[in-house]
C-alpha cells in the first residue's frame, strides 16, 4: 500500500504575522471556525482563542536572530519593551529585547 505524504505546510501559508490580542505573540495556529464562519486561531503562548479581526495590528519589522539569522517571534510584550525569541527555539535560545 502506498501512503502519500500529506502536506504539513499549508496551515500557516501567508499568515505568519497574525498576533494574539492578549499577549502579542505571533505564534498561533488555526483552530477551526467561529459560529459566524470566521477563521479562529489559538495562541501557542497563552492558549487564548481569537479571530483575525481582533488580532493585534501587524508590525512589519521583526529582528533577525543574531545567532542564526531567522526572523524572530514576539515572546513577550511589556510597556515600552518587546522581547523576541528565535523561531528555532528550543534549538536556538537567542533572545532580543527591543525598546519602543
Ligand atoms: Zn497569546
Ligand atoms: Zn536563532
Ligand nearest to the CA of 88: 2
pLDDT at 70: 86
Cα of 5 to ligand 1 centre, how many Å? 31
State the pTM of this model.
Answer: 0.40
77 and 44 in a common domain: no
Cα of 21 to ligand 1 centre, how many Å? 7
9 and 36 in a common domain: yes
Q: Which long-range contacts (CB under 8 A, 24 or more apart) does 43-48 make?
A: 45/20, 45/75, 46/20, 46/22, 48/20, 48/21, 48/22, 48/23
pLDDT at 14: 44
pLDDT at 12: 43
47 and 64 in a common domain: no
Ligand nearest to the CA of 44: 1
Domain that holds residue 17: 3-51
Contact 60, 45 (CB under 8 A): no
pLDDT at 49: 93
Q: What domain count does the chain have? A: 2
Per-residue pLDDT tens digits of the chain, which is 100 residues long? 555 544 334 344 444 468 888 898 988 889 999 888 888 999 999 999 998 776 766 555 688 898 998 889 999 988 888 899 999 999 999 999 988 7
Ligand nearest to the CA of 65: 2
pLDDT at 9: 41
Amino acid at each position: 500500500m502506498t501512503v502519500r505524504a500529506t502536506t504539513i505546510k499549508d496551515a500557516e501559508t501567508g499568515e505568519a504575522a497574525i498576533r494574539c490580542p492578549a499577549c502579542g505573540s505571533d505564534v498561533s495556529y488555526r483552530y477551526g471556525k467561529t459560529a459566524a464562519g470566521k477563521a479562529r486561531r489559538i495562541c501557542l503562548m497563552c492558549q487564548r482563542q481569537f479571530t483575525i479581526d481582533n488580532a493585534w495590528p501587524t508590525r512589519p519589522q521583526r529582528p533577525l536572530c543574531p545567532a542564526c539569522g531567522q526572523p524572530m517571534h514576539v515572546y513577550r510584550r511589556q510597556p515600552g519593551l518587546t522581547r523576541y525569541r528565535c523561531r528555532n527555539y528550543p534549538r536556538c535560545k537567542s533572545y532580543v529585547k527591543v525598546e519602543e
